[in-house]
Structure 1
Amino acid sequence: MPWIQLTISAPEKHAPLIGDMLEGNGAMAVTYRDAQDNPIFEPPIGELVYWQETLVTGLFPAQTNMQPIIANLQKSSYFKNGLQYKTDQLEDKDWEREWMDNFHPIQFGKRLWVCPSWRDIPDPSAVNIMLDPGMAFGTGTHPTTALCLGWLDGQDLSAKTVVDFGCGSGILAIGALLLGAKRAVGVDIDKQALIASKENAERNGVAEQLEVYLPANQPLLKADVVVANILAGPLQELASVISDYVADDGELVMSGILERQIEDVQAAYAEHFDFSPAQIKEGWVMLHAKRKR
């Protein structure tokens, strides 16, 4: 169905309130984006951060009479100097089809592909992860995931145990199993991520080799390879927890790190690990380390 977008420019402190006002006036969805193209790379854990000047957009059905809504918004004291807004018509499209068209099979390294279900598999003889984009993070399109998948593709994982810390969709654990790992353990704070990981493992025929746990329920184990694709802050805060998973002579791969954060993350692990040179893709970093003997 067609839609109308109502977009209002707001200072950071007022953005969430204006979003609530749009919802209160019948917006079917509200989104926030930067008015000046200033990226926020890593907000504090659990904190929702807005830009200094934020564009707040409400989405309304096309038949909506916008004048009463705009008049209602103008009554707010936040717009005492006038409400600056614009409206746009969105054409009627098959949004699901348009969304699906954006996803294609992607190759990582020499052997590994990630393939959505509605596309033909480019190389049936390759190692193919069948994975559709969904709620849980991790489909291979982000540089951090791509770096980890590329690293896994270059390893001999035969008979090894792999821990995927912050498993999301389970893509790294599933990739490791398809590449020859004997066992994988996914850990995530989000129950939905654990469900998605198990469902994706079923689809790829490796469910019996994958275990998933919330952090509170995770077992004591030592893994040959630990992959943690989260963010620099949690990587530092959880350094002792993540390190404890790595077996003697085991390997640790970490991503979700910006170039300016390399030294801080390495410092958190330097006592027990030796680092290889960082791999960088589009400003994002993957660190590989081996436990010291």
Structure 2
Amino acid sequence: MSWTEVIIEIAREHAEALSDALMEAGALSVSVEDADEGTDQEKPLFGEPGMEPTEAAWDHSRVVALTDTDADQAAIVAEAAAAIQLAQVPAFTTRAVADADWVRLTQSQFEPIHIGTNIWVVPSWHEAPDPDGLILELDPGLAFGTGSHPTTRLCMEWLEAHPKPGKSVLDYGCGSGILAMVAKKVGAGDVAGVDIDPQAIESARANAERNNCEIAFYVPDEFAVSPNERHAKGQFDIVVANILSSPLKLMAPMLSGRVAPGGSLVLSGVLARQAEEVAAAYAPFIKLGVWAEQDGWVALHGTLGQDTVPAPRSPA
């Protein structure tokens, strides 16, 4: 089987609506790219973990829709344009994408990722580069967290550097479940993950099963009524949350309250310039300091009951 890509260059204000309309009109998938990528006009957009990017499109956007080759591409574009009341049907180009090419393109974008000292995140179609390493088999796509984002890497490196054999761990905002799985692989006992997105929970459960990790995953309402008393109302030896700075600040009382006395809290999804205000939100409950920084992002950590701000990670 083969597919055809439909490529439309369009102004920013129409990109998101056109994407949705193309899906309704019969496209199999749609992505939005920077039409100026690779030029002096390129404009990077960055979303933060657990949230959509604050901007949905570029000033000069390229909408790429994947369609069945047998479909009427012109009709799909015309229907989508009419649905969002564009003044005229936008011009478009097409490109044939063979089955083998599509699979190869998708897989070539994801190579094994080496994190910390011994962690490897390996897509299912790859052999692990180091079979003696801490291997996580994880296919990207459904939920945030493949190890490629600096915030995920920082949390994984913290967990690897602070093994707690038999200890309990809560991964709040778990996405793909990757942090919960790292915790389990480095020896944690009772591990739970929570995410507001039911699709993320479904993905996390599948990933945990693939990696032979016994982890309980919940949406928040399920978490609150779990038959496991610790999960429903109790405290954990380690609480890790890789979300966004604003929700992290709002959740300071709740997340801090989930940390057992002498336990650790690890936060990421925080830009370096946001670290001070996030730490201030947690100051009434726990003293947080920057553990490490990577590409402008930081991981904060602290120990409940410790009155001093913890030291950063020692240089390698």
> What corresponds to 1:39 in structure 2?
45
Give me the whole-angstrom Cα distance separating, in 2, the residues matched to 1:258 and 1:193: 23
Using the TM superposition, give the Cα deviation of residue 261 of structure 1 relative to its aligned residue in structure 2, in angstroms: 1.8
Does structure 1 conserve the Cα–Cα contact (< 8 Å) formed by 2:262 and 2:303? Answer: yes
Q: Structure 1 residue 6: deviation in Å? A: 3.1
Structure 2 SS opposite 1:175? helix
**Aligned partner of residue 147 in structure 1, secondary structure:** helix
Give the aligned partner of residue 211 of structure 1: 216
Separation of aligned partners in 1, 2:255 and 2:57: 32
Q: CA deviation at 1:260?
A: 2.4
Residue in structure 1 matching 2:127, options 120, 131, 152: 120
2:49–2:244 Cα contact (<8 Å) kept: no
Query: What TM-score do the two structures reach when normalised by structure 2?
Result: 0.78
Indicate if the aligned counterparts of 2:239 and 2:264 stay in contact, CA closer than 8 A.
Answer: yes
Amino acid at match of 1:15: A
Aligned to 1:79: 87
Q: Do the aligned partners of 1:43 and 1:49 also contact (CA within 8 Å) in 2?
A: no
**2:238 partner letter:** V
* Other-structure match for 2:162: 155
Instruction: Pick closer, same or farther for the CA change 1:74–1:254 going to 2, 3 Å.
Output: closer
Deviation of 1:8 (Å):
3.0
Q: 1:160 to 1:70 in 2, by over 3 A?
A: closer
Give 1:99 deviation, angstroms.
1.6
CA 260–121 in structure 1, closer or farther in 2 if over 3 Å, else same = same
Aligned residues between the structures: 288
Deviates more, 1:29-38 or 1:260-269: 29-38
Q: Does 1:258 align with 2:266?
A: no
Which position in structure 1 is the counterpart of 2:249?
236
2:169–2:239 Cα contact (<8 Å) kept? yes
Q: Is residue 170 from structure 1 mapped to residue 177 from structure 2 by the alignment?
A: yes
In structure 2, distance between residues paired with 1:174 and 1:75:
44
Distance 1:187 1:40 in 2: 24
- Identify the residue that residue 228 of structure 2 maps to in structure 1: none
Structure 1 position 3, deviation (Å): 1.1
Give 5+ residue unaligned stretches, structure 2. Answer: 36-41, 224-231, 307-316
- Amino acid paired to 1:205: N
1:132 corresponds in structure 2 to: 139
Q: Distance in 1 between matches of 2:171 and 2:4?
A: 41
Q: Amino acid of the residue matched to residue 30 of structure 1?
A: V
Aligned-residue Cα RMSD (Å) equals 3.0
Shift in alpha-carbon separation, 1:112–1:23, aligned structure 2, 3 A: closer
Deviation at 1:246, TM superposition (A): 0.8
CA deviation profile, 1:127-167 (whole Å, cap 9, x unmatched): 22232224122121221111111111111311211111111
Distance 1:144 1:43, change over 3 A: closer
Report the alpha carbon displacement of residue 181 of structure 1 after superposing the two structures with TM: 0.9
Shift, 1:24, TM fit: 5.7
With structure 1 as the length reference, what TM-score do the two structures score?
A: 0.84
The residue type paired with residue 287 of structure 2 is: D
Describe how 1:1-293 pairs up with structure 2 within 5 A. 1-12=2-13, 14-23=14-23, 26-35=26-35, 36-42=42-48, 49-51=55-57, 53=59, 54-62=61-69, 73=81, 78-79=86-87, 85-94=91-100, 95-207=102-214, 210-218=215-223, 219-293=232-306
Q: Cα deviations across residues 18-67 of structure 1 (Å, max 9, x unaligned)? A: 33554465444333234552524359968974336243343444455656
The change in CA–CA distance for 1:85 and 1:284 in structure 2 (over 3 A counts) is farther
Residues of 2 paired with 1:90 and 1:22: CA distance?
18
CA offset digits 1:58-94 (Å, max 9, x no partner): 34444556566677759986436xx663414244252
Question: Which blocks of at least 5 consecutive residues in structure 1 are unaligned?
Answer: none
Query: What letter corresponds to residue 170 of structure 1 in structure 2?
Result: G
Q: 1:249 and 1:140 mapped to 2: Cα distance?
A: 28
Whether contact under 8 Å (1:10, 1:56) holds in the other structure is no
Check 1:55–1:271 CA distance in 2 against 1; reply closer, same or farther (3 A cut): same
- Deviation, 1:222, is 0.9
Matched-pair contact (CA < 8 Å) for 1:149–1:172: yes
Matched position secondary structure for 1:254: strand
Bigger mean CA deviation after superposition, 107-116 or 18-27: 18-27
Stretch deviating more after TM superposition (241-250 or 41-50): 41-50
Q: Displacement, 1:173? A: 1.0
Structure 2 residue matching 1:224: 3-state secondary structure: strand
